[in-house]
Amino acid sequence: MGPAIVASIAYVDPGNVATNLAAGATSGYLLLWVVVAASAVAMLVQFQAAKLGTATGRSLPELCRERFPRWGNRLLWLQAELVVLATDLAEFVGAAIGLQLLFGMPVALSALVTAGLSLLLLELRRRGRTRRFELATAAALVLIGAGIAYDLVAVGHQSAAGMAGGLVPRLNGTESVLIALGIVGATVMPHAIYLHSSLAQQPGRSAAVARRRPRLVRTALRLDCGIALGTAALINVAMIALGAGLGSLTGGTWTGDLHAAHAELAARVGGAAALAFAVALLTSGVSSSGIGTLAGDVIMQGFLGRGIPVYCRRLLTMAPAVLALLLGAPLSTLLVVSQIVISLGIPVALFLLVHFCRDVALMGRLVNAVATTRIAVGASLVVALVGLSLPLLFLA
């Protein structure tokens, strides 16, 4: 119990905040069903990743290194590394905006502060204090949720009937289609799949023993994923409701911009609401940045069989984000670019995961049931199509 809490931070990162608020501001509760459906897929995906790591004692990248030729692993590592860099870019942007809103800090300085804070979080993991690391991550998840929940109550302008109607699958025009695709792309995160398969390998626990107790393992993993990812799903739903409420409060003049959201909250609701929003956004950026660095280490160790010190990796992965911020690139543009790159990595991670989880020789009694594999393949196809279509729609 615990690894799913770490992975769940990827599902409430700044990309999710920006996408969900925009969905609520422009479409009200229309796309609530998309968040619920995408979250259900995320639970299935992360459960599969955790089960793979528990049953085999190896991460998804490590299994790829064992089963595929060297050139194939190098290609897989390259695309996964690009996904981590893009993820880091989005998270640095979110943290930079949070620090700007809280302290008026320049963007370039905020990027360096974010790197330092994420390293402090990673230090707990590096020193072998896994449980403390998981507790720190859980605290971050609670802080993000508390900030969004406070603003949701403070803003008001909610409709129970509207929320119920938003659970009925429907779309309304090209803009809602684009935002719906963005929600799916921001919810299922490739780096969280790689990371979760590694975190599920508990020290001192034999994979062979786990395979002999499949019912207990499945129950524990379902509980872990259900609690952690269910909490993340509720936070995402609250983000859409907050966007809808703030859009209604402003009479439709606010359309989802993060800076404008803070200003509207301060002017119309009060300083406490604006502070809660900035703290939630900053926490989202810092905590997810640390998770991204961990995922990068798992990816390099797994696909290539080699690694570098975590501090060197932090410097390497933060370099593109810091450079982009130093050059003054528009923050909203950086978020869009990061989502395009991340979406390209979704199909690869999903199909690798399903491929290994259906292998009875590898998984033993924890192998996927036929029905589970069919559901996972269907969900993976839908998410993969969404991921591949996002770049075309963004660039059109």
Cα separation, 281 vs 354, whole angstroms: 33
Q: What pLDDT score was predicted for residue 15?
A: 81
Cα separation, 357 vs 51, whole angstroms: 8
Examine the pLDDT at 104 and tell me if it is beyond 60.
yes
Sign of CA dihedral 127, 129, 132, 134: positive
Q: Which of 144, 156, 157 is nearest to 233 (CA)?
A: 144
Single-letter residue type at 249 = L
- Greater confidence (332 vs 24) lies with 24
The model's pLDDT over 74-88, given as tens digits with 9 standing for 90+, comes to 999 988 888 888 887
Cα separation, 391 vs 349, whole angstroms: 17
The model's pLDDT over 219-274, given as tens digits with 9 standing for 90+, comes to 999 999 999 999 999 999 999 999 999 988 888 888 888 888 889 999 998 889 99
In the chain, pLDDT over 70 holds for what percent of residues?
89
Examine the pLDDT at 129 and tell me if it is beyond 60.
no
Examine the pLDDT at 131 and tell me if it is beyond 90.
no
Examine the pLDDT at 150 and tell me if it is beyond 60.
yes
Sign of CA dihedral 266, 272, 277, 281: positive
Q: Please provide the distance, in angstroms rounded to a whole number, between the alpha carbons at the two ends of the chain.
A: 44
Average pLDDT over residues 291-306: 82
What is the pLDDT confidence band of residue 173, given thresholds at 50, 70 and 90?
A: confident
Phi-psi region of 326 (alpha: psi -120 to 50; beta: other; left: phi over 0): alpha
Q: Which two tokens stand for residue 114?
A: 């974010």
Q: What pLDDT score was predicted for residue 391?
A: 62
Q: 263: which residues sit within 8 A by CB, 6+ positions away?
A: 274
Examine the pLDDT at 44 and tell me if it is beyond 80.
yes
Average pLDDT over residues 303-310: 74
Examine the pLDDT at 138 and tell me if it is beyond 90.
no
Average pLDDT over residues 341-362: 86
Examine the pLDDT at 133 and tell me if it is beyond 90.
no
Give the largest CA-CA distance in the chain.
Answer: 61
- Greater confidence (288 vs 47) lies with 47
* Among 145-159, 255-269, 279-293, 307-321, the least confident range: 307-321
- Greater confidence (9 vs 202) lies with 9
Q: Which of 338, 330, 326 is nearest to 288 (CA)?
A: 338
Q: Which of 324, 309, 321 is nearest to 119 (CA)?
A: 309
- Greater confidence (334 vs 240) lies with 240
Cα separation, 288 vs 137, whole angstroms: 9
- Greater confidence (122 vs 93) lies with 93
In three state form, how does the secondary structure of the chain look?
CCHHHHHHHHHHCHHHHHHHHHHHHHHCCCCHHHHHHHHHHHHHHHHHHHHHHHHHCCCHHHHHHHHCCHHHHHHHHHHHHHHHHHHHHHHHHHHHHHHHHHHCCCHHHHHHHHHHHHHHHHHHHHCCCHHHHHHHHHHHHHHHHHHHHHHHHHHCCCCHHHHHHHCCCCCCHHHHHHHHHHHHHHHCCHHHHHHHHHHCCCCCCCHHHHHHCHHHHHHHHHHHHHHHHHHHHHHHHHHHHHHHHHHHHCCCCCCCCHHHHHHHHHHHCCHHHHHHHHHHHHHHHHHHHHHHHHHHHHHHHHHHCCCCCHHHHHHHHHHHHHHHHHCCCCHHHHHHHHHHHHHHHHHHHHHHHHHHHCCHHHHHHHCCCHHHHHHHHHHHHHHHHHHHHHHHHHHC
CB 344 within 8 Å of CB 189: no
Average pLDDT over residues 183-207: 79
Q: Which of 2, 183, 13 is nearest to 84 (CA)?
A: 13
Average pLDDT over residues 275-284: 90
CB 48 within 8 Å of CB 376: yes
Examine the pLDDT at 127 and tell me if it is beyond 60.
no
Examine the pLDDT at 166 and tell me if it is beyond 60.
yes
Average pLDDT over residues 50-57: 90
CB 242 within 8 Å of CB 19: no
Cα separation, 139 vs 382, whole angstroms: 33
Average pLDDT over residues 272-294: 86
The model's pLDDT over 139-149, given as tens digits with 9 standing for 90+, comes to 889 999 999 99
Give the predicted TM-score (pTM) of the model: 0.89
